[in-house]
């Protein structure tokens, strides 16, 4: 079932740069400087996107001296993946039963 939280999370992940950041963080914990170097985006742009990801609870922070590291929270993505998986299963059942509504 599509919830407001899932809709919001899909909206957050729909941005290409945020999705790129999430993909990078899936492979390792990084600081903003690493993400700037990897994405080629400006520091302020990366920082703004990290703020959105933090607020959506997709990433969490880990202070390390004067740097802040960001790591992905996979359980958040698992919840969205489960919802999408259920939607795909429903679609398969609909196709298999050839279910369609008659036009008026």
Backbone angles phi, psi at 70, to 5 degrees: -120, 135
pLDDT in tens, 32-68: 999 999 999 999 999 999 999 999 999 999 999 999 9
Domain of residue 57: give its range: 4-87
Domain count, the chain: 1
Confidence (pLDDT) at 95: 82
Contacts 24+ apart (CB under 8 A), 47-53: 49/15, 49/17, 49/18, 49/21, 50/21, 52/12, 52/15, 52/18, 53/12, 53/18, 53/21, 53/22
In a domain, 78, yes or no: yes
In a domain, 50, yes or no: yes
Q: Which CATH number fits the domain that encloses residue 22?
A: 1.10.10.10
In a domain, 100, yes or no: no
In a domain, 16, yes or no: yes
pLDDT in tens, 2-39: 667 778 889 999 999 999 999 999 999 999 999 999 99
Q: The pTM is what?
A: 0.83
In a domain, 37, yes or no: yes
In a domain, 18, yes or no: yes
> Which pLDDT band holds residue 80 (cuts at 50, 70, 90)?
confident
Single out the residue of 12, 32, 30 nearest to residue 80, CA to CA: 12
In a domain, 104, yes or no: no
In a domain, 95, yes or no: no
């Amino acid at each position: 079932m599509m919830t407001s939280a899932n809709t919001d999370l899909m909206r957050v992940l729909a941005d290409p740069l945020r999705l790129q950041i999430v993909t990078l963080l899936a492979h390792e914990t990084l600081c903003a400087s690493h993400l700037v170097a990897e994405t080629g985006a400006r520091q302020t742009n990366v920082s703004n996107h990290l703020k959105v990801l933090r607020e959506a609870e997709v990433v969490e922070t880990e202070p390390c001296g004067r740097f802040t590291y960001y790591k992905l929270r996979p359980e958040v993505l698992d919840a969205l993946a489960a919802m999408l998986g259920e939607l795909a299963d429903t679609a398969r059942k609909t196709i298999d039963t050839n279910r369609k509504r008659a036009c008026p």
